[in-house]
């Protein structure tokens, strides 16, 4: 079975509950959950019957124990999770303003996950990347490590690629995670050069290169396989041998929450490619799952809402994404 290593951070999430205080009134009720972009992708990969491990660091606290239990329940492997005595996971709060728009507030500077690239266990963890068919991470993942940590990670990814591991980079860009955009642009360029597949969007790239056209943005990414999501539900694909435009099917249900739309798209795309689908078919699968996810509140939809798994032509695990 093909295997994927998802690298990143899962945080404690406080979400304003329905009936909570309005903006500016103080107080209010919040529900507690867990969230993280690459963790969302890992969960959807597991639901799509892909063998997936989540690589991160957590504390030895009760909240970290709850995370581990929840990941196990979803079928996400936790053998690569490093537990750090005395540390805690990060925390973020989602608050609604008077117009119902979401605002995010983070407390993560001392979170355990930020130390993942500078631990006694780091070498063993990075060496394990060679045993996976795909390594998946996002720009948010890269933003939590310092420059030496990112260099260490990229070196390990390049080493794993020599043995056939594919590197999939998702440009999930959040400005607050970077000291400035120049640093982000430099790191993105390094990731683009190392990646086999890049999943990106106009929203992410225009934040770094404002005013550029689609063609100019695409030209910045040398990777052989590229999925470029537009503001509307359309993806522009570039792959060896051609290009294509893939449109999502029209929505038949109201959009409730766009959280994890990109994360679920990434999972469905990777799962389809590993199963032998061509890029166009994989993008269709990505749009199909994302269009379901945005019809439910929160990042992870109920299991019963998952689309039926589509069978693709058989392919060798190491070759499927090439």
- The CA-atom distances, in angstroms, between 184 and each of 139, 141, 148 are 8, 12, 15
User: Which residues in 163-172 are b (16+ Cβ under 10 Å) and which e?
Assistant: eebbbbbbbb
Within 10 A of 316 (CB to CB), how many other CB atoms are there?
A: 11
Percent of the chain with pLDDT over 70: 89
For 125, the token pair is: 């963890």
- Smallest CA-to-CA distance from 300 within 244, 259, 240 is with 259
* Distance (Å, whole) CA 176 – CA 197: 25
pLDDT bucket at 319, cuts 50 / 70 / 90: very low
> What CATH number matches the domain at 3-8+36-86+110-305, 3.40.50.300, 3.40.1190.20, 3.40.50.720, 3.20.20.70?
3.40.1190.20
State the Cα torsion 156-180-106-82 to the nearest 10°: 10
| pLDDT for the residue 26 | 52
| pLDDT for the residue 96 | 57
pLDDT at 270 over 90: yes
pLDDT bucket at 315, cuts 50 / 70 / 90: very low
Tell me the per-residue pLDDT of 61-80, one tens digit each, with 9 for 90 and over. Answer: 999 999 999 999 999 999 99
Question: What is the enclosing helix (H) or strand (E) of 63?
Answer: helix 62-74
Contact 249, 278 (CB under 8 A): no
Tell me the per-residue pLDDT of 197-254, one tens digit each, with 9 for 90 and over. Answer: 999 999 999 999 999 999 999 999 999 999 999 998 899 999 998 999 999 988 888 8
The active-site residue, picked from 37, 53, 170, 263, is 263
pLDDT bucket at 139, cuts 50 / 70 / 90: very high
| pLDDT for the residue 208 | 96
* Distance (Å, whole) CA 50 – CA 76: 9
| pLDDT for the residue 101 | 54
Q: What is the residue-averaged pLDDT of the chain?
A: 90
Partner residues linked to 166 by β-bridges: 134
Q: Which residue has the higher pLDDT, 214 or 110?
A: 214
| pLDDT for the residue 108 | 84
User: Which residues in 243-269 are b (16+ Cβ under 10 Å) and which e?
Assistant: eeebebeeeeeeeeeebbbbbbbbbbb
DSSP summary character for residue 144: T
* Distance (Å, whole) CA 315 – CA 318: 9
**Total-model pTM:** 0.91
For 191, the token pair is: 């990731």
pLDDT at 24 over 70: no
Q: Indicate the pairing of strand 91-96 with strand 102-107.
A: antiparallel
Residue appearing with tokens 């909240």? 63
Active site residue 182: no
| pLDDT for the residue 192 | 98
How do the domains of the chain map onto residue ranges? Answer: 3-8+36-86+110-305
pLDDT at 104 over 80: no
* Distance (Å, whole) CA 75 – CA 7: 16
| pLDDT for the residue 219 | 95
Contact 46, 52 (CB under 8 A): yes
Percent of the chain with pLDDT over 90: 73
């Amino acid at each position: 079975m093909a295997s994927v290593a998802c690298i990143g951070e899962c945080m404690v999430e406080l979400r304003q509950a329905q009936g909570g205080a309005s903006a500016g009134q103080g107080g209010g009720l919040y529900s507690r959950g867990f969230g993280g972009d690459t963790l969302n992708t890992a969960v959807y990969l597991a639901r799509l019957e892909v063998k997936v491990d989540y690589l991160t660091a957590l504390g030895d606290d009760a909240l970290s124990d709850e995370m581990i239990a929840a990941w196990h329940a979803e079928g996400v492997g936790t053998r690569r999770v490093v537990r750090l005595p005395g540390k805690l996971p990060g925390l973020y709060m989602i608050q609604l303003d008077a117009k119902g728009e979401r605002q995010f507030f983070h407390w993560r500077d001392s979170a355990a996950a930020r130390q993942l690239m500078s631990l006694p266990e780091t070498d063993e963890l990075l060496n394990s990347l060679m045993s996976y068919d795909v390594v998946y991470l996002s720009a948010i993942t890269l933003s939590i490590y310092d420059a030496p940590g990112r260099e260490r990670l990229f070196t390990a990814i390049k080493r794993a690629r020599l043995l056939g591991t594919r590197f999939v980079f998702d440009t999930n860009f959040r400005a607050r995670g970077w000291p400035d955009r120049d640093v982000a642009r430099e790191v993105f360029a390094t990731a683009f050069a190392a990646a086999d597949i890049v999943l990106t969007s106009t929203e992410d790239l225009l934040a770094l290169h404002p005013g550029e056209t689609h063609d100019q943005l695409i030209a910045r990414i040398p990777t052989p396989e590229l999925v470029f999501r537009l503001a509307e539900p359309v993806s522009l694909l570039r792959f060896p041998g051609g290009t294509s435009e893939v449109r999502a099917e029209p929505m038949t249900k109201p959009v409730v929450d766009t959280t994890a739309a990109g994360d679920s798209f990434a999972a469905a795309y990777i799962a389809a490619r590993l199963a032998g689908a061509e890029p166009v078919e994989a993008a269709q699968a990505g749009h199909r799952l994302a269009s379901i996810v945005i019809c439910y509140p929160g990042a992870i939809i109920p299991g019963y809402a998952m689309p039926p798994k589509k069978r693709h032509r058989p392919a060798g695990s190491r070759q499927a994404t090439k």
